[in-house]
């Protein structure tokens, strides 16, 4: 039997920081939250930081010369510096605040892509990508004849490296790849793949929406040129995300949006845009959200990303072992040692939506659908899966409740 994760971690203690986990899904039925891949819950430390900002420091940032505005600016830019340290970027100029991972990837597509790609140029992505790392490139292909090709996955949910090598031999301009799949949980060896891509002359854009909240990520060793991730999946608030890019590349990219704060000077018929990172941050930014994201970074750093990753490795190993006990369950993806805390599964002929609805009656919150990864589901000839995803605040007893409820689902449908 896999070692019980609660024996080696402080997950039960961390849970106390997340008020929602103490509530009942319905009277007498405790909540089991297993949907952190969609969005994480928020600790009180993040809520208090945002509340404190709105109560005592609220003002617009950057141009005010009165004390309150300067205080708000310091808090906002403090959030940026915390993110820089968290991913070990060389400078805060490389940290661009966006609304989410999707907007960060679209920023690259609209700015770098439209400035550097022409008809016939090749962009490569993978079959396991979230739609947000496919659709912007498909739109660019339709707009100007850029070619897109996908690296297939194996039946174990891992990249077909032979096909990747073949596509890189065609000298693509860009490789778009997820660090960790939001469906099968596969953790791709980005540093190794990025080195291969760079040798072929391609830049590398990494979707870090699932990796940055769960694994130690150091952009100086990752090997990528762009990294996109979201605050709301890493204990932070919604409506704020991050695009990290190498400064030399970002410097050469035109602005994405026009308006306030992204400009240095405007005349009636011309303008000059601002320096990094502000040339990509038009308009009033998500100030309180940046403060909240900084608090989330403090929270995760205080625990330690290695500690969180180790806890999740133990928890997913335990979950995979327990799920295998249930007749009819098929979990997709690689072994626990090569995946994050995600378990997407089918359950015989029972539709995933029915599974999720019945689990909800037992107080267990999971997600059912294609998880914004329809091509990956097509690979497995599935319309949808049920997905249980874990984070630092989950404990093995919740895995046990999930398995017990799945036995009840099986009993009902048999």
- Tell me the catalytic residues: 372
The token duo for 239 is: 């409506």
Measure the CA–CA gap between 179 and 336, rounded to whole angstroms. 16
Contact between residue 337 and residue 313 where contact means Cβ atoms under 8 Å apart: yes
Contact between residue 42 and residue 375 where contact means Cβ atoms under 8 Å apart: no
* Residue carrying structure tokens 């930081």: 49
Contact between residue 285 and residue 261 where contact means Cβ atoms under 8 Å apart: yes
H or E stretch covering 137? helix 135-144
> Phi, psi at residue 88, to the nearest 5°?
60, 45
DSSP H helices in 216-335: 219-222, 247-251, 287-303, 305-323
DSSP H helices in 324-363: 352-361
Measure the CA–CA gap between 279 and 91, rounded to whole angstroms. 16
The separation between CA 249 and the C-alpha centre of its own chain, rounded to angstroms, equals 22
Measure the CA–CA gap between 231 and 240, rounded to whole angstroms. 6
Measure the CA–CA gap between 270 and 91, rounded to whole angstroms. 30
Beta strand residue intervals within 4-94, DSSP E = 24-26, 29-30, 32-33
Measure the CA–CA gap between 274 and 404, rounded to whole angstroms. 57
Asked if the bond preceding 33 is cis, omega within 30° of 0, the reply is no
């Amino acid at each position: 039997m896999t070692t019980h994760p609660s024996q080696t971690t402080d997950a039960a203690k961390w849970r106390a920081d997340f008020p929602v986990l103490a509530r009942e899904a319905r009277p007498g039925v405790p909540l089991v939250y297993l949907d952190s891949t969609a969005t994480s819950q928020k600790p009180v430390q993040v809520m208090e930081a945002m509340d404190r900002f709105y109560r005592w420091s609220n003002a617009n940032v950057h141009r005010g010369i009165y004390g309150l505005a300067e205080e708000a600016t310091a808090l906002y830019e403090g959030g940026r510096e915390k993110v820089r340290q968290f991913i070990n970027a060389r400078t805060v100029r490389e940290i661009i605040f966006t609304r989410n991972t999707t907007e960060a990837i679209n920023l690259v597509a609209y700015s770098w892509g439209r400035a550097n790609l022409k008809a016939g140029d090749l962009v490569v992505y993978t079959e396991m990508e979230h739609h947000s790392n496919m659709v912007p490139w498909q739109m660019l292909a339709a707009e100007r004849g850029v070619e897109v090709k996908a690296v297939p996955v194996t039946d174990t949910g891992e990249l077909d490296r032979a096909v990747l090598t073949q596509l890189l031999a065609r000298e693509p301009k860009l490789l778009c790849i997820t660090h960790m799949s939001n469906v099968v949980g596969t953790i791709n060896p980005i540093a190794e793949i990025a080195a291969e891509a760079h040798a072929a002359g391609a830049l590398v854009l990494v979707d870090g929406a699932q990796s940055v909240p769960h694994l130690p990520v150091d952009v100086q060793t990752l090997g990528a040129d762009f990294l996109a991730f979201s605050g709301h999946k890493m204990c932070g608030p919604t409506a704020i995300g991050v695009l990290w890019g190498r400064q030399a590349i970002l410097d050469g990219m035109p602005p994405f949006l026009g308006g306030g704060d992204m400009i240095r000077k405007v005349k009636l018929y011309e303008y000059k845009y601002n320096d990094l990172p502000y040339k990509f941050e038009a308009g009033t930014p998500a100030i309180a959200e940046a403060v909240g994201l900084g608090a989330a970074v403090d929270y995760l750093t205080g625990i330690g990303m290695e500690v969180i990753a180790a806890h999740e490795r133990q928890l997913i190993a335990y979950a995979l072992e327990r799920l295998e006990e249930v007749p009819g369950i098929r979990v997709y993806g690689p072994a626990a040692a090569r995946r994050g805390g995600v378990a997407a599964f089918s359950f015989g002929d029972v539709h995933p939506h029915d599974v999720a609805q019945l689990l909800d009656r037992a107080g267990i919150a999971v997600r059912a659908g294609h998880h914004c990864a329809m091509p990956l589901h097509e690979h497995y000839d599935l319309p949808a899966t049920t997905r249980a995803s874990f984070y630092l605040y989950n404990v093995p007893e919740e895995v046990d409740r999930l398995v017990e409820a799945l036995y009840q689902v099986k009993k009902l449908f048999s």
